[in-house]
Structure 1
Amino acid sequence: MAEITLKGLGHSYKANPKSEADYALKPVDLVWEQGKTYALLGPSGCGKTTMLNIISGLLKPSDGQLLFDGKDVTAATTSERNIAQVFQFPVIYTTKSVRGNLAFPLECRNWPKEQIKDRVEYIAALLDLTEILDYPARKLSADQKQLISLGRGLVRNDVSAVLLDEPLTVIDPQMKFTLRRKLREINRATGITMILVTHDQSEAMSFADEVVVMKDGCVQQSGSPEQLFARPNNEFVGYFIGSPPLNLFSVQFRNECLYVPVLDQLLPADAGGSIETIKVGVRPEHLKVQKSSEEDPQAQVTGIDDLGIEQVFSMLGRNGELFKVKSRLNRDLLCGDSVEVTAAEKDLMIFKEGLLVR
């Protein structure tokens, strides 16, 4: 187990990168504490797998340093780093039993048989594999095979971190929640640092203590799920985190304030700059609506998606802007209804040139 530090760490697949655009991973500084869970989140091609492969030792960075507990391991091999990696598709020994798969890493290190037996049974209990320890691994389901892959990484007691490269891809959707919960339980029980790569925000937000949001090889923001949801650093993070994503409204200058036409609301004009570069953001969960009898209502309901306990309302503002409202309280609303829309000032975020300023 180790604290992992990325110090100006970056990588270009080109031999002689000449500009920032040549980098698959632009130089970044991050510190990941021992024993926590982390997620690298972003669209395909954003650099998250490149970062993971650098940490594991499969790829040597073209810039910067990688430190484990303050020790420079940039040039160290994968085996010297004591990293366990679980890939997108299960990697198991099909000729061995579940027990044989879990025991194999310890047998390679010449552990005493009794210690191997005790350790394998401990890890099997953590993963709910005890009842099938002596089953042939080839006959198991995809999620059980992935648990074996994870178990082989956890069975060693000298692992610095467990790297999870989209390991839930092959898992049945109904099993994904259970496996994410199991990973969290294992992290709490063992204290092993876990780093998950995913493009699925629900996986990242429900798994990680801290989420690193990436785009175009650049870290956009790193923080807790609560921080990313409540205070996104920029419009991309605001849009990428949350379902539905952040609403962004145009503004006008009025009486030395910012006026938001959709909300018919004034805000302090402390952002400065051209009005075209300023947007006001608000989460769909933070908008309140009620039916309106006004001749010129603020908005009209154009669509309703029922999510069970909640509903998502598609809205058309009177200024032509489209936005979403997520609510449990408006089951009387129908498509075509006119509504008034309000939001508390504390829930409104001001972005200038795409960056959060308030």
Structure 2
Amino acid sequence: MARIDLDLAHSYVPNPRTDEDYALLPLQFTFEDGGAYALLGPSGCGKTTLLNCISGLLRPSHGTIAFDGRDVTVATPQARNIAQVFQFPVIYDTMTVGENLAFPLRNRGVPEAQVRERVGRVAEMLDLSATLDRRASGLAADAKQKISLGRGLVRQDVSAILFDEPLTVIDPQLKWQLRRKLKEIHHEFRLTLIYVTHDQTEALTFADQVVVMSRGKAVQVGPADALFERPAHTFVGHFIGSPGMNFLTGQWRDGAIELAGRRYMPELSPSVEAALREAGSFRIGVRPEYLRLAPESDAQAVPVRVERAQDIGTYWLLTGGVQEAGALAGTLRARLGIEAADLRLGDTAWLSVFNRHTCYYVNEELVP
């Protein structure tokens, strides 16, 4: 395995002049040896471009890539000793499952005894043991993709294993099992794994560190709890979570937060208070999970006009509009308990927006 150091940017446009010309904005980042990482973001945000730069399929237009301190910016994928698993199966249909798994090892002259031992171990982990002697051409797409995963995992000498949305063709139930398997394999072998996905569930359950990307930029890197509790950017708050974080616009006036025509004085650290005072206008972010129904007398509660109360089974999802001078000033979604069952369309509900989980954003970035 290898430590991978990136200091790069990439544009498909000659002589780029603006940020919009870049598929990858300038990025400095290190993938530590033995770490499990996910590149998470919507389609077109630069995830696959970054992965292809790491693998050597694409040379970055600016900057360098180093493996264990060795500059590999112009090196081929073979010279970088990378294993890559793609979105769709890449296998030999004329070979058996076992022969497919063994091919990367035999191609490198690994002794046959080691080949059999390694193939058997990986096949057992991916539940392929019963099909080792079957020809791959007769298997379903999800079974073929499991073989592709196995071909990527079977080698022990690689610098890193790269996954480009490898579970796209996998049945939803099998996806859950394979994510768990990959996690187990990482813990056992301590491989350096980099996993591209647009699915937050895949990223947060697989990776120790998630790189959240938007428009060619890495907007936050961290573990799942940090991305959920303290999104560093409003994009992260919106993208992570189901539903995503609620955002309302507030102003600082006369020593208090003004929101939808009402004044609030929540407990703020001196640094946050100073930042909000200086900004004047800012955004208030709070997760649906951290909103609670409150009495009208609660000084930290915001009134909303109930637009919908849905019974999801394990919780109720309340959607309410924040009103200001008779106009809609924002929308709040709250995950509530059975107490929401009594709410009706048009009712006024009071939600405790200001609490220890509330985040504040100036220019879309978290106020620390």
Please list the CA deviations of residues 88-135 of structure 1 after superposition, one character each: whole Å capped at 9, or x if unmatched.
Answer: 111111111110101111121122222211121111112121111111
Which residue does the alignment assign to 2:310? 305
Q: Is 2:283 aligned against 1:284?
A: no
Q: Do the aligned residues in 1 keep the contact of 2:256 with 2:264 (CA within 8 Å)? A: no
Distance 2:64 2:304 in 1: 53
Q: Please, which moves more after superposition, 151-160 or 336-345? A: 336-345
Q: Is 2:359 aligned against 1:349?
A: yes
Distance 2:262 2:162 in 1: 45
Q: Please, which moves more after superposition, 309-318 or 54-63? A: 309-318
Other structure's SS at 1:298 match: strand
Please list the CA deviations of residues 173-218 of structure 1 after superposition, one character each: whole Å capped at 9, or x if unmatched.
Answer: 2221111111111111111111111111121111111111111111
Q: How far is the alpha carbon of 1:79 from its aligned partner? A: 0.6
Q: Do the aligned residues in 1 keep the contact of 2:316 with 2:341 (CA within 8 Å)? A: no
Distance 1:143 1:264 in 2: 56
Please list the CA deviations of residues 217-273 of structure 1 after superposition, one character each: whole Å capped at 9, or x if unmatched.
Answer: 111111111111111112111111111111111223344121334986323542234
Which residue does the alignment assign to 1:169? 168
Give the aligned CA root-mean-square deviation in angstroms. 2.2
Q: Unaligned regions of 5+ residues in structure 1, if any?
A: none
With over 3 angstroms needed to count, the CA separation of the structure-2 counterparts of 1:203 and 1:305, relative to structure 1, is farther
Specify the code of the residue in structure 2 equivalent to 1:272: R
Length, aligned pairs only: 355
Q: Unaligned regions of 5+ residues in structure 2, if any?
A: none
Q: Do the aligned residues in 2 keep the contact of 1:39 with 1:211 (CA within 8 Å)? A: yes
TM normalised by structure 2 equals: 0.90
Q: How far is the alpha carbon of 1:141 from its aligned partner? A: 2.3
Q: Do the aligned residues in 2 keep the contact of 1:36 with 1:193 (CA within 8 Å)? A: yes
Distance 2:226 2:150 in 1: 32
Which residue does the alignment assign to 2:350? 340
With over 3 angstroms needed to count, the CA separation of the structure-2 counterparts of 1:332 and 1:262, relative to structure 1, is farther
With over 3 angstroms needed to count, the CA separation of the structure-2 counterparts of 1:15 and 1:317, relative to structure 1, is closer
Other structure's SS at 1:322 match: strand
Other structure's SS at 2:44 match: coil
Which residue does the alignment assign to 2:336? 327
Distance 2:197 2:338 in 1: 33
Output aligned runs, 1:47-196, within 5 Å. 47-196=46-195
Q: Do the aligned residues in 2 keep the contact of 1:293 with 1:338 (CA within 8 Å)? A: no
Q: How far is the alpha carbon of 1:274 from its aligned partner? A: 5.0
Specify the code of the residue in structure 2 equivalent to 1:2: A
Distance 1:352 1:262 in 2: 20
Distance 2:263 2:255 in 1: 15
Specify the code of the residue in structure 1 equivalent to 2:323: R
Output aligned runs, 1:9-48, within 5 Å. 9-48=8-47
Q: Please, which moves more after superposition, 137-146 or 183-192? A: 137-146
Specify the code of the residue in structure 2 equivalent to 1:283: R
Distance 1:173 1:246 in 2: 26
TM normalised by structure 1 equals: 0.93
Distance 1:156 1:118 in 2: 12
Specify the code of the residue in structure 1 equivalent to 2:293: V
Please list the CA deviations of residues 323-355 of structure 1 after superposition, one character each: whole Å capped at 9, or x if unmatched.
Answer: 100123535333324322114531111111211
With over 3 angstroms needed to count, the CA separation of the structure-2 counterparts of 1:278 and 1:91, relative to structure 1, is same
Distance 1:230 1:126 in 2: 33
Distance 1:256 1:62 in 2: 49
Other structure's SS at 1:272 match: helix
Q: Percent identity?
A: 47
Which residue does the alignment assign to 1:4? 4
Q: Do the aligned residues in 2 keep the contact of 1:262 with 1:299 (CA within 8 Å)? A: no
Q: Do the aligned residues in 1 keep the contact of 2:317 with 2:336 (CA within 8 Å)? A: yes
Please list the CA deviations of residues 13-56 of structure 1 after superposition, one character each: whole Å capped at 9, or x if unmatched.
Answer: 12322333321111101111122211111111111110000001
Distance 1:100 1:281 in 2: 53
Specify the code of the residue in structure 2 equivalent to 1:318: Q
